[in-house]
Amino acid sequence: MPQDVVEVACRWVDALEQADVPAANAVSGLLGWDPGPWIAEAWQPDVEELAGSDRTVSSARQVNDHLVRVVLVGKRGAAFVSVVLDDAAKVVGTSVDSDEQDGRFWVVMGCPQEREDELRAFYTMLTHGQIGPGEGWMRPPRWRDPANPTQIHLDVQVADLESAEHAVLEHGATKLEDFPGWRVYADPVGHPFCLYPGLTEPTDRFGTLVRVVIDCTDPLPLARFWGAVLDMHRTVADSPDRIVIARDDERLPMLALQRVPDYQPPSWPDPEYPPQMHFDIGFDDRAEKERLALGLGGTRLPPQGGSCPVYADPAGHPFCLCYKGE
């Protein structure tokens, strides 16, 4: 790279902290992108929540050829900023985290572009968690319809089921089914999700994302695959039809792998059989995780123009392996 990437990353972070759009554009590699709204709507709330006010850079280091980690420290604590740079040392990605742990993942949900703000607002109201809308789709899921399967859904634990139900229905959800102990709904664009009672930890949202549930024909190989890729080595539940795995540090969400009848995998990138959700997973060493995933039965899928390479797990669910911040 022609420049000191640590220096470039620090200039980028300083520009974000000062809300200096021209300075940010000077080091950005994202042509035509206006960072102003993102600084106001994403950067400032995220770093304020983690680090608080009176922030300063406490350290900055080069992680690899394309990744720099900058740590901001303030009155509340620390924010770990991952800055991704291209071959010309221009910034092409940024993330803000509470620590340097590998393997954090975003749940990216299929959504028509014109309804992305609606879906984002719905899950912001409901739960903390790295959930967001992604590319549009041609065929939304239908509850209990193998021809238009759910594939992946979210389990959210709430303190009060009645209050949470009122909130989700008021914000555009539809009730699908009522079971003893939990209820099933569809979000405003059609993705099923479940509400469970029993939340005791304090939260400023209605609930906590406790599980991401992945459909398959056989949960065992899928549990081995995701347990290794995401460092989820603790087995919480184990039966022939359902395995739940979790991190040793108990950080949520857990993953549940469940057998479903007439399982229909997505077919990337066929719009007639789209993935309803996929994971974007951030690592410092993407190449090492790629070798691990391929060795455990993952497959590389054709690129579709995104910045992160795309793979499929052994059940056919697509996921992206990214540098943190990509």
Q: Which of 191, 188, 208 is nearest to 122 (CA)?
A: 188
Q: Do domains 5-100 and 105-323 have the same CATH topology?
A: no
Q: Give pLDDT tens digits for 135-172.
A: 666 678 888 888 888 999 999 999 999 999 999 999 99
Cα gap 1→205, rounded to integer Å: 44
Does the bond joining 269 to the residue before it have cis omega, within 30 degrees of 0? Answer: yes
Judged against a pLDDT cut of 80, whether residue 173 lies above it is answered with yes
| pLDDT in the model for residue 48 | 95
Checking 7-12 for CB contacts under 8 A at 24+ apart, the result is 8/68, 8/85, 8/89, 8/90, 8/91, 9/60, 9/68, 9/70, 9/83, 9/85, 9/91, 10/57, 10/60, 10/70, 12/83, 12/91, 12/94
Q: Given pLDDT bands bounded at 50, 70 and 90, which one contains residue 325?
A: confident
Structure tokens at 248: 């040793």
Q: Given pLDDT bands bounded at 50, 70 and 90, which one contains residue 104?
A: confident
Helix ranges, 108-214 (H): 116-126, 161-170
| pLDDT in the model for residue 300 | 94
| pLDDT in the model for residue 112 | 87
Is there a contact between 60 and 69 (Cβ–Cβ < 8 Å)? yes
**DSSP per-residue string spanning 210-241:** EEEEEEES-HHHHHHHHHHHTT--EEEEE-SS
* Phi, psi torsion values for 34, nearest 5 degrees: -95, 110
Distance of CA 306 to the CA centre of its chain: 15
Judged against a pLDDT cut of 50, whether residue 236 lies above it is answered with yes
Express the helix, strand and coil content of the chain in percent, nearest 5 each: 25, 35, 40
Cα gap 161→163, rounded to integer Å: 6
Structure tokens at 288: 């090492």
Among residues of the chain, what percentage have pLDDT more than 90?
A: 67
**DSSP per-residue string spanning 256-300:** EEEE-TT-----TT-TTS--SEEEEEEES-HHHHHHHHHHTT-EE
Q: Which of 12, 8, 34 is nearest to 24 (CA)?
A: 12
In the chain, where the domains are located: 5-100, 105-323
Cα gap 292→305, rounded to integer Å: 24
**Which DSSP letter does residue 113 get?**
G
Strand partners, 157: 196, 208
| pLDDT in the model for residue 99 | 86
Judged against a pLDDT cut of 70, whether residue 3 lies above it is answered with no
Judged against a pLDDT cut of 60, whether residue 70 lies above it is answered with yes
Q: What's the chain's average pLDDT?
A: 91
139 vs 282 pLDDT, higher one: 282
CA distances from residue 238 to 103, 256, 258, 259 in whole angstroms, order as listed: 23, 10, 10, 12
Other C-beta atoms closer than 10 Å to the C-beta of 31 total: 7
- Torsion region of 132: left, alpha or beta (phi above 0 gives left; psi -120 to 50 gives alpha): beta
| pLDDT in the model for residue 17 | 96
| pLDDT in the model for residue 135 | 67
> What is 105-323's CATH topology?
2,3-Dihydroxybiphenyl 1,2-Dioxygenase; domain 1 (3.10.180)
Query: For the packed helices 286-295 and 219-229, what is the interaxial angle rounded to 10 degrees?
Result: 160
Among residues of the chain, what percentage have pLDDT more than 70?
A: 97
Provide the whole-model pTM. Answer: 0.85
| pLDDT in the model for residue 139 | 76
Residue linked to tokens 């959700």:
277
Q: Does the domain at residues 5-100 carry the CATH identifier 3.20.20.70?
A: no
Q: Give pLDDT tens digits for 193-221.
A: 999 999 887 777 889 999 999 999 999 99
